[in-house]
A and B are shown apart, each in its own frame.
Chain A
Amino acid sequence: MTSTVRIELPAHLRTLAGVGREVSIEVEGTATLRSAIDALEARYPMLRGTIRDQVTLQRRPFLRFFACQEDLSHDSPDTPLPDAIALGREPLIVLGAIAGG
C-alpha cells in the first residue's frame, strides 16, 4: 500500500530543499509521522536532522506537526495519520515556532 502525503514545510526548509511551499511524498505502508518524515528525508536528504534529531529521532523543540487542525506533535510517531492526510486531501504541516530574533 502506498499513499501520497502532502507536507507543508517552513520557509527555511523550502529554501534548503529547493522546493515550494508543499511537497508530495510517496509513503509505503501505513502513513504515520515516522513513515512520512522517513520518506521526506529519503527524497530530500538535505532535510535530515532539520525536523528530527539525527540520532534520537526526536522532533526538534521549536517545530510542531499539525494536521486537520489538530496538533499531532506529542502523538506517538507510529500513530496512523488521519485519513484526510493519508489520502492527500489535506497537508501535514511542519510548523516553526514564531520566536527568536
Chain B
Amino acid sequence: MSGVRVLVGTKKGAFVLTADGKRKNWDVSGPHFGGWEMYHLKGSPVDPNRVYASQTSGWFGQLIQRSNDGGKTWEPVNNKFAYDGIPGTHQWYDGTPHPWEFKRVWHLEPSLTDPDTVYAGVEDGALFRSTDGAQSWQELSGLRKHGTGPRWQPGAGGLCLHTILLDPTNPGRIYIAISAAGAFRTDDGGETWKPINRGLHSQYIPDPNAEVGHCVHHIAMHPSRPNVLFMQKHWDVMRSDDGGDTWQEVSGNLPTDFGFAIDVHAHEPETLYVVPIKSDSEHYPIDGKLQVHRSRTGGNEWEAMTRGLPQKDCYVNVLRDAMSVDSLDECGVYFGTTGGQVYCSADAGDSWSPILRDLPAVLSVEVQTLR
C-alpha cells in the first residue's frame, strides 16, 4: 500500500512522520539527534531508505548522518568540507573582503540516479558532491571560482547555498541558489557555472538589476518541465520559462510578495504554492492569519488557502526548505513553521490539518512518497 514519510528537521532534532495514503493517522519517530540543529534531511529518489541528514551545532560544528533504513537508524559519515585550493574572499556585510569559511550544510540533494551520489549546499556559499555515500566530499569549485564569487555578500542568515535542483532530463544541468548572490546554472555537471539573474530586480542593493547580489530565497521546479523555474525572492515571486536565462515577476495579487517557501504541485506543473510573509522586518503572516496561497495559472492569479490554518493570533514563519509535496494521486502539500507546527493538506491545499503542533522550530520538511 502506498504511503508517505515526512522528514522534518528542527532546531532541536529530527522527526520522521509516516502515514498511509489517507494521510490521517501519523506515526511519529524522534527526536533523532535531540538538541542538534537539523537543517535538512532528504531521501534518495532511487533508494528511499537511503536518507541523508545535516546535523549541526554552534558548539560542535557540522556532522552528516546517513540512514539505510528510512531513518530508523543512522550512522555518522564524513563531515570534512574543505574548499578547493585557497578559498579567497567574498564580501562581508559592510562590503569589506571576508575569507571564505565553512560553517554548515543547509541542503542535501541526493542524485536522481545513484543513491551514493549526493550534493551539499553549504555556508559560506559553495557546492560539494560525494559519490561514495558521503564517505568523502569534493567541492565543485567552478561555482565559487567562476568570477563573481568575490562580490557575493551574505544575506541575514549567512552566505548560504540553500537550493539545488537537478534536471531529470539533462544530467549535466544543475540549478543552485545562494543568499544573497542569486541563482546560478551549470550545463556540464558542475565544471562551469553562470549567473542566471536577468530580470530580477532588488531595490535594496546598489544596482537593482545587478548580475549577482539578489537575495533568492528558494526555487522550485516541476520534474516534467525542468526549463520552467519558480522563485520566491526576498521580495517578488518570479518565473522563468527558459532555464533561468530570463525571469518575469508573477507576484500578481498576492497580499505580500515577501516569503521563503515555494513549491509546485506534483501533477500540475502550473500549480504553485507560496506562504506570504508580511515583510523582511517582521517575518510573520499578515494580521496573524496563516495562509498558503495557490496559483493554478503558473503565477499572477493567487487564491488564499485558509481552511484548517489559524486565522488569528498566528505569528510564525515558514522557512525556505520547510515546504514539500508528495506525489500520491491526490497531491499532498506539507509545511512546517517556526512555531513547531507541521501541517498537511491531503487535497492539494484546499484544506489543512496539523500533523504535530509542538515541535521545536521547523527548519525543513521533505516528503517521500512510498509505493
Contact = CB atoms under 8 A, between A and B. Distances in A.
Given A12-B35, A12-B36, A97 B79 contact: no
Contacts of B83: 55
B61 A49 contact: yes
A49 B59 contact: no
User: In terms of DSSP, what is the predominant structure of the interface of chain A?
Assistant: loop
A50 interface: yes
Interface in B97-145: 102
Interface residues of B, number: 16
A19 interface: no
A49 B79 contact: yes
Nearest to B59: A62
Given A16-B60, A54-B61, A60-B61, 19 more contacts: A10-B59, A12-B35, A12-B57, A13-B60, A16-B76, A46-B76, A48-B79, A49-B61, A49-B63, A50-B63, A51-B60, A54-B81, A54-B82, A55-B102, A60-B60, A63-B59, A63-B60, A96-B59, A97-B59
Interface of B: 35-36, 57-63, 76, 79-83, 102
Nearest to B12: A101
Contacts of A60: 59-61
B307 to A, nearest CB: 34
Interface of A: 10, 12-13, 16, 46, 48-51, 53-55, 60, 62-63, 96-97, 100
A46 B79 CA distance: 9
A55 B76 CA distance: 18
A58 B62 CA distance: 14
B60 A12 contact: yes
A14 B175 CA distance: 39
Contacts of B35: 12
Given A12-B36, A16-B76, A55-B102, A49 B82 contact: no
A53 B83 CA distance: 13
Nearest to A63: B59
A12 B59 contact: yes
User: In terms of DSSP, what is the predominant structure of the interface of chain B?
Assistant: loop
Contacts of B62: 49
Nearest to B75: A46
A61 to B, nearest CB: 9
Contacts of A55: 80, 82-83, 102
A54 to B, nearest CB: 4
Nearest to B78: A48
B137 to A, nearest CB: 10
Contacts of A54: 61, 79-82
A100 B57 CA distance: 10
Contacts of B79: 48-49, 54
Contacts of A97: 59
Contacts of B80: 48-49, 54-55
18 contacts: A10-B59, A10-B60, A12-B35, A13-B60, A16-B76, A48-B79, A48-B80, A49-B61, A50-B63, A54-B79, A54-B80, A54-B81, A60-B59, A60-B60, A62-B58, A63-B60, A97-B59, A100-B58
Closest A-B pairs by Cβ, 10 of them: A50-B60, A46-B76, A62-B59, A54-B80, A49-B79, A96-B59, A55-B82, A49-B61, A50-B61, A62-B58
A79 B59 CA distance: 24
A46 B63 CA distance: 8
